[in-house]
Structure 1
Amino acid sequence: MNAGIFRQQDYRIRLEWGPQGVEQLGPECGALIIVDVLSFSTSVDIAVSRGGRVLPLPLRRADPRAAVEAERAGAVLAAAKHDSGWSLSPSSLLDLPAGTLLALPSPNGATLSARAAHYDSTVFAGSLRNADAVATAAIAAAGDRPVGIIAAGERWGIVDGPLRPSLEDHLGAGAIAAALLAHDSDGSPEARLAALGFRSATSELPALLAESISGRELTDMGLAHDVHLAAQWNASTTAPVLIDGIYGQ
């Protein structure tokens, strides 16, 4: 079978899901945009917007290797979501001091970031908050090569179940796809459909995120403000870019 089909080879703007999506789009794309709206990409945007930097750790917070990697990098290890201090919760980062290097464990967005870094691509963290900014930066970084959007999705199970396409990442990927297609209309059907879905939902973003499975899960955990922050379309002009394994500006 023609491998180029799975790489959406005939198109400049491409979109796929999860780790396998990185493996398919990574070899050809000049820029890859990791979209994990609830909550990794939103947290990275807020941290970098405040002048911080983020070391993505493809681990769970409870994994003892997370502390080792943070210490090795001279970073502050993010707390668990329900503990005080900076964490994967976007609202906890609203007071992050400029210059802070935050080690942020995430088995989803951080794992995809680490995979994407293996390719000759510029890697960005994209969300609803910074869709236009990331699209503009990615088009510039990619040059004449394609741009790939990687929607993270969730997992059926705690960590390693099969991928569950999630509403929030479909909307986030769609927002970025719509912005990219405004620069270059040569989009794959996957990218074009995501953009169409997003455009039809712009007036309902806060409600849709709040009522989604992931939104309700976070609200039940007392993190409704995180969902509110994640739904703020183009509230940010920051395009976090991964350089030497660290997200910054």
Structure 2
Amino acid sequence: MTASPFDQSRYQLRFDWGQEGLRRLAPADVVVVVDVLRFSSTVSARIVGGETVPHDDAAHAVSRNGAAVASAAADAGAVVFLGCLRNATAVAHAVLAEQNRRAARTSVNVIAAGELSGQGDAAVLRFSVEDQLGAGAVFAALEALGLDHSSPEAAAASESFRGLRSAVRHLLTASGSGQELLEADRRAEVLAAAVHDADDAVPVLRGGVWRAYETISAE
């Protein structure tokens, strides 16, 4: 099959949005799904608390959009991690551990879930600043570990986080998604999602269940 100019296959680190973006990118060994408000942040915090989280339960309770991306990536045979601001550096270390385990250069697709407006076939993916920043935090952490063969899209996401890092808390609460949650009396969740590197474990999807990657890799 002829490579697409948009599949970012020349690069180790790649970035796109939603299920369409996952399909657009070349297949990768690892897919990191970033859905900061609230799927990735919520599952990450529960994993740190020692839980295992059934994927279907988390999807219905928190976010169908990010969960759908994760399901599609798992169906394609990738190792699927959840990334967010809370666990960005831990995700980078998990990716590096996976590369070491494979003893081979490991391709990484980071997919920002974004927000869907509308229903069914009429649904339109909307940019979400929180997922841009969350993906950027993951890329910045990967680059700090020496994994820096980044596509232009990935590099731009990384620099967006670096440049706006000090304003992340304000940007999340002021964003459309943040305002929606504040109106629903979920301010504490937005503030928790804005904390950089609060979590030291990484959710990995295996057999329909999210578990800590450290646990999986030690088996």
TM-score higher than 0.5 here? Answer: yes
Q: SS at 1:6's partner residue?
A: coil
Aligned match for 1:150, one of 96, 111, 124: 111
Fraction of identical pairs, as percent: 40
Tell me: CA distance 1:218–1:207, structure 2 relative to 1, closer, same or farther (3 Å).
same
Q: 1:163-191, CA deviations, whole angstroms, 9 ceiling, x for partnerless residues?
A: 00100000000000111122222100000
Aligned pair partner of 1:248 in 176, 194, 211? 211
Residue number among 47, 66, 69 corresponding to 1:109 in the alignment: 66
**TM superposition shift of 1:60:** 7.1
CA separation of 1:191/1:201 partners in 2, compared to 1, >3 Å: closer, same or farther?
Answer: same
Deviates more, 1:224-233 or 1:178-187: 178-187
Q: 1:242 to 1:60 in 2, by over 3 A?
A: closer
Match of 1:185 in 2: 148
Q: Distance in 1 between matches of 2:176 and 2:26?
A: 29
Q: Which SS does the other structure have where 2:55 is aligned?
A: strand
Structure 2 residue runs of 5 or longer lacking an equivalent are 213-219
Match for 2:15: what amino acid?
L
Q: Which residue of 2 aligns with 1:230?
A: 193
* Partner Cα distance (2:81, 2:180) in 1: 26
| Matches of 1:217 and 1:34, distance apart in 2 | 22
Q: Compared with structure 1, are the counterparts of its residues 60 and 121 closer, same or farther at alpha carbon in structure 2 (3 Å cutoff)?
A: closer
Q: Which residue of 2 aligns with 1:39?
A: 38
Aligned to 1:82: none
Does the Cα contact within 8 Å between 1:128 and 1:175 map onto a contact in 2? yes
CA distance in 2, matches of 1:147, 1:4: 17
RMSD of aligned alpha carbons: 1.9
Which of 59, 76, 88 is the matching residue for 1:119? Answer: 76
Structure 1 residues not aligned, in runs of 5+ = 62-77, 79-87, 89-105
User: Mean alpha-carbon deviation: is it higher for 14-23 or for 50-59?
Assistant: 50-59
- Structure 1 residue 126, shift from structure 2 partner: 0.5
TM-score by length of 2: 0.88
Partner Cα separation in structure 2 for residue 241 and residue 163 of structure 1 = 25
* Residues 31 and 139, structure 1, Cα contact 8 Å, conserved in 2: no
Partner of residue 101, structure 1: none
SS of 1:194's equivalent in the other structure is helix
Name which of 168, 173, 177 aligns with 1:205: 168
Residues of 2 paired with 1:58 and 1:138: CA distance? 25
Q: In the alignment, residue 53 of structure 1 is paired with which amino acid? A: T
Match of 1:8 in 2: 8
**Secondary structure at 2:15 match in 1:** strand
Distance 1:39-1:158 versus aligned 2 partners, 3 A rule:
farther
The 5-angstrom pairing of residues 80-91 of structure 1 reads 88=62
Please state how far the C-alpha of 1:138 moved relative to its aligned partner: 1.6
Distance 1:227 1:44, change over 3 A: same
The answer as to 2:134 corresponding to 1:172 is yes
> Is the radius of gyration larger for structure 1 or structure 2?
1
1:53 shift after superposition: 1.1
What residue identity is the alignment partner of 1:122? Answer: V
CA offset digits 1:44-99 (Å, max 9, x no partner): 101100111112229974xxxxxxxxxxxxxxxx5xxxxxxxxx3xxxxxxxxxxx
Q: Take 1:109 and 1:219, find their aligned partners in 2: how far apart are those partners?
A: 20
Query: In the alignment, residue 165 of structure 2 is paired with which amino acid?
Result: T
Superposed displacement of residue 158, structure 1: 5.3
Deviation at 1:118, TM superposition (A): 1.0
Q: TM-score, normalised by structure 1?
A: 0.78
